[in-house]
Structure 1
Amino acid sequence: MSDYYAAVFGAGISGLSMANQLHQRGKKVLLIDPFRADPEAPGPPAAMVNPSAGRKGNLVWESEKCLNEFRSNIDKLSEQSGRSDLFNATGVLRPAITEELAENFKKSLDEQPWPEGWVEWLEPNEIEEINPGIAENYGGYFIKPGLTVFVDNYLNTFRKVLTDGGVTFSGLKTTYEFHESDFLLTDEEGNTATAEHVIVCAGADTPGFDDWAELGIQRVKGQVAIFETDKELPWKHGLSALGYILRRKPNEVIVGSTYEHHFEDVDITDEAYNRLFGKLEKILPEISKSVKKTGQLAGVRGTAPNHLPVLGRHRNNPQLCIFSAMGSKGLIYSEYMASILADHLVSGSEIPDELDTERIYRRLRKKGKI
């Protein structure tokens, strides 16, 4: 019998959710991540849970199930940890700063299956009332269940709650090798253990795992800038326009994110800062005149060809699995997607075709690449 039901590689958004869902199903889990060995590991300062995507404003995949699952989990984490600094449930405002966007957003409200009570259309004067100082706009909509999540606090708290609850965590570099019926895990100090499954939840680092390199998961660099304002901001909601603007402290805003598909390193750049400041200047012109830059961060996210996460089994070994390519919607997708893979492994339920690894393998076979 294996020491663990699953070894989960990666303790970021997807890895923690995967460990959580398996643990809820009574499975013994080893969570591995050498980059998050510190109990207060650094991470992104804030991100938005927004069920609306892109310039069209369309709902993300299974938006209601995804958002409800995430909200349930973060509420539970707040209660279990006693922390009130994991998120703000203050909604998301999507102002239409062009007539085209206004038309897109209205079409979304008419044609998309928005759950009852989720969204409200606002006229320009109403937007200016709830968000003083916002740029000239053509109306927009307010998404009531939208969240601002303080990601560093969230990840560190999530990991602590899981390990306090019985999930084993290792901050040591570890390799895996399949032997007959399970995986042999060997860490950098020579300690060994076995696991029935290995699940790679490594995000943008997934291409570094040879078994998954052929999936073609793309790495996209993103940068954010942090600004201090000269006075307290009169609003708390998230802003989704030309990216996002989030309020972490009463006089602090975080502006994100760039989407850089071609990059040589993960360093911050002046070019990205200028673009980010340009977003702030365009959306909140008055505020931008009196801000002071206090920080800039860069990171890399993984994306798949159809912009949906990839989850499922390896074509050559059904005990080797993946949950990756979360893109810019990682938070809202995380818990529900992890529950789909957990149910598949534990109960044999089907993975939706648009998420399954097989969708990529089919394309690779058609092209003669595997």
Structure 2
Amino acid sequence: MPASDYDAIILGGGISALTVALQLQMKGYAVVVIDKPAGSGAAGLPAGLANPAYGREAKKSWESEACIESLYRLSELADVRKNDWQEGWTQWLEPGEAAERFPLVQTKYGALWIQVGMTIDLPCLLTELRTKLNTMGSTLYSATTSDVYEGRNNHTVAADGRELRSPRIIFAPGSGIGDYPQWSSLKFNRVKGQVTAAAFSGFSDPGCSVASSGYAAFTGYNRVVVGSTYEHTWQNSSPSHETGRELIARFRNMCPQIGESLTHADNWAGIRLTTPDRKPCVGAHWEIRGFYCIAGMGSRGLLMAPLAAELIADHIHSNKKIPAQIDVTRFYRTRRFMNRT
């Protein structure tokens, strides 16, 4: 039996994959990351909004507090954000106070100020994570295809002519997880999302990002990313100019003054995976030893992925139990979570 090349192979190049790689590397594992070429999937998203409260009622998502703290730790590790949180998570602002504090945002009926939310420049974060991994000794490959073959002690990944072996493979390829037959029985919903990245002139950033009918993530340098659509039926994964115009119209409702000063816009689209209960799918394969997955976070991947990655790394390293709410075991124990064969 050939010896292992690495302690762990991670398939994927988004925040889930790179954070798992970083967590395992910090625990002393020899790690290789295999990703598709730059710009593929959610890893190509221009920016993201980590909002621990979602919907019109500002409900908390899964483990909101722990998720935002984990994202903060990750951003510090990657040296992309360093500042102290203000006291208090949320504060309701009446119309007058909201308009005074954020005059460039439409706040006719008031606003909920979420002080611990974060706007992340995703390309910058992912670049810094890759740099960190390289510095720590991880190996990163880009490959257009990656086929996985099960073994008794070591599994093999064949990626563009390379064959790599490891007793552990972590599948974190975003919407591509269904391409691997080992996980094809898991039931995910595939939802298309589109955002528009636009430039504006004549105004400074309003001092916050905005979540209303969609969101506007201000990324600095007079740039804003407006999103996002939720398309449950779609013909292709390419962005649409018509949808881009709809997103710009939403933005003009959120920030009328800035909305009239837009000078350029680019569209981006990708596919998200959601689960039947809207919680992540994390953990070990129910039959194949050494196979793990992290998937199904939908539009909240930026918020949830760092914590999910910490949890699966702890599970791999010390057999720490994955929380039942997100453990992959709930899929094969519940028929509605599995595809019929």
Is the structural similarity TM-score above 0.5?
yes
Rounded Cα–Cα distance in structure 1 between residues aligned with 2:18 and 2:187: 23
> Which residue in the other structure is 2:274 paired with?
303
Check the 8 A contact 1:44/1:150 in 2, yes or no.
Answer: no
Instruction: Return the alpha-carbon distance in structure 2 between the equivalents of residues 87 and 129 of structure 1.
Output: 27
- Which residue of structure 2 lines up, in the alignment, with residue 15 of structure 1? 17
1:255: how far off?
0.9
How far residue 248 of structure 1 moved from its aligned partner, in angstroms, is 2.0
Q: Distance in 2 between matches of 1:72 and 1:368?
A: 36
Which residues of structure 2 form unaligned runs of 5+? none
Identity among equivalent positions (%) equals 30
1:305-325 Cα deviation digits (max 9, x unpaired)? 111111112222131110111
1:177-222 CA-to-partner distances (Å, cap 9, x unmatched) read: 1121120222322x32310111110111111111112112222111
**For 1:215-271, what per-residue CA distance to the aligned partner results, in whole angstroms no more than 9, with x for missing partners?**
122221111112332312352311111111121234332211111111121222133
How far off is 1:87 after superposition?
Answer: 5.3
AA matched with 2:258: I
Which of 359-368 and 312-321 deviates more? 359-368
Letter in 2 for 1:185: V
Counterpart code for 1:49? A
Q: 1:207 to 1:273 in 2, by over 3 A?
A: same
Task: Establish whether residue 48 from structure 1 lines up as the match of residue 49 from structure 2.
Answer: yes
Of the candidates 36, 39, 42, which is equivalent to residue 38 of structure 2? 36
> Which whole-Å CA distance do the structure 2 matches of 1:64 and 1:153 have between them?
24
Output the aligned Cα RMSD: 2.5
Aligned residue identity for 1:16? L
Q: Distance in 1 between matches of 2:95 and 2:185?
A: 48
- Is 2:320 the counterpart of 1:352? no
Q: Which moved more, 1:287-296 or 1:193-202?
A: 287-296
Aligned-pair CA distance for 1:167 = 1.2
- Displacement of 1:342 in angstroms is 1.2
2:205–2:222 Cα contact (<8 Å) kept: no
**Alignment-derived partner of residue 96 in structure 2:** 125
Q: What is the aligned counterpart of 1:146 among 117, 121, 138?
A: 117
Q: Deviations over 1:4-39 (max 9, x none)?
A: 22111001111001111111211111110132399x
Alignment of 1:85-124 (within 5 A): 86=80, 117-124=88-95
Q: Secondary structure at the match of 1:179?
A: coil
1:267 maps onto 2:268 in alignment: no
Q: Which residue of 2 aligns with 1:187?
A: 159
Give distance in 1, aligned partners of 2:68 and 2:92: 20
Alignment partners' CA distance in 1, 2:153 and 2:336? 27
CA distance in 2 between partners of 1:15 and 1:155 (Å): 10
The amino acid across from 2:159 in the alignment is D
* Structure 1 position 90, deviation (Å): 10
CA contact (8 A) 1:90 1:147 kept: no
**Paired residues of 1:90 and 1:238 also in contact (CA < 8 A):** no
Kept in 2, the 8 Å contact 1:88–1:148? The answer is no
Give the superposition deviation at 1:367. 7.9
- Code of the aligned partner of 1:216: K
Q: Pick from 317, 320, 324 the counterpart of residue 295 of structure 2.
A: 324
**How far apart, in 2, do the equivalents of 1:244 and 1:88 lie?**
23
Alignment of 1:126-275 (within 5 A): 126-172=97-143, 173-189=145-161, 191-275=162-246
Q: Please state whether the residue corresponding to 2:316 is helix, strand or coil.
A: helix
What is the CA-CA distance between 1:88 and the residue it aligns to?
8.8
Q: 1: CA distance between counterparts of 2:35 and 2:293? A: 15
Aligned to 1:288: 259
Contact 2:102 2:207 in 1 (8 A): no
Contact 1:90 1:236 in 2 (8 A): no
Distance of 1:131 and 1:254 partners within structure 2: 18
Distance 1:366 1:278, change over 3 A: closer
